[in-house]
Amino acid sequence: GAGVSQTPSNKVTEKGKYVELRCDPISGHTALYWYRQSLGQGPEFLIYFQGTGAADDSGLPNDRFFAVRPEGSVSTLKIQRTERGDSAVYLCASSSSGTSGGNEQFFGPGTRLTVL
C-alpha cells in the first residue's frame, strides 16, 4: 500500500489492561509522529521519531505511554494500565524528512481506542 497504515482500526479494552497500537509508515519515510485526537478536539502531538530514535517524547501524557521504532520503519505505541481517559483516536503520520518544517505529514486512518 502507498499510504500510512494503522492496526487495529478499533480497539476496545478494559480499564487496567495493556494495549499496543501499530503504525506502518510510507516506505522510505524517516520521520514518524504519533498524535492523539480526543472527541471534539484537534490532534495533539505525542512523540516524534527520526529513524529509530525518539527525538522528542514530550507529548506523552505520563509514563504509562511508551513507543518504539526498532528498525526505523514500523512503530508501536504501548499503553500500560489503561484508563478511561485514554479513550481517543490515535493517529500516526510520516514524512520524508523531519528536518524541514514544510514537509507534508501523511496521516494514517487512526486507531480508535475505547477503554471501558
In the complex with another protein, the residue whose CB is nearer, 82 or 111, is 111
Q: Which helix (H) or strand (E) holds 21?
A: strand 19-24
**CB-nearer residue toward another protein: 91 or 115:** 91
**Interacting residues with another protein (CB under 8 A):** 3-4, 31, 33, 35, 40-45, 48, 50, 55-56, 59, 91, 93, 98-110
Q: Which residue has the cell 510520516?
A: 94
Three-state SS at 30: coil
Task: Compute the least distance from the CB of residue 89 to another protein, in Å.
Answer: 10
What is the C-alpha to C-alpha distance for residues 113 and 116, in angstroms, rounded to an integer?
Answer: 10
Instruction: Note whether 109 and 8 are within 8 A (CB).
Output: no
| 4 versus 21: smaller Cβ distance to another protein | 4
Q: How far is the CB of 116 from another protein (least distance, A)?
A: 23
CB of 61 to another protein, least distance (A): 15
* Separation CA 69–CA 63 (nearest Å): 17
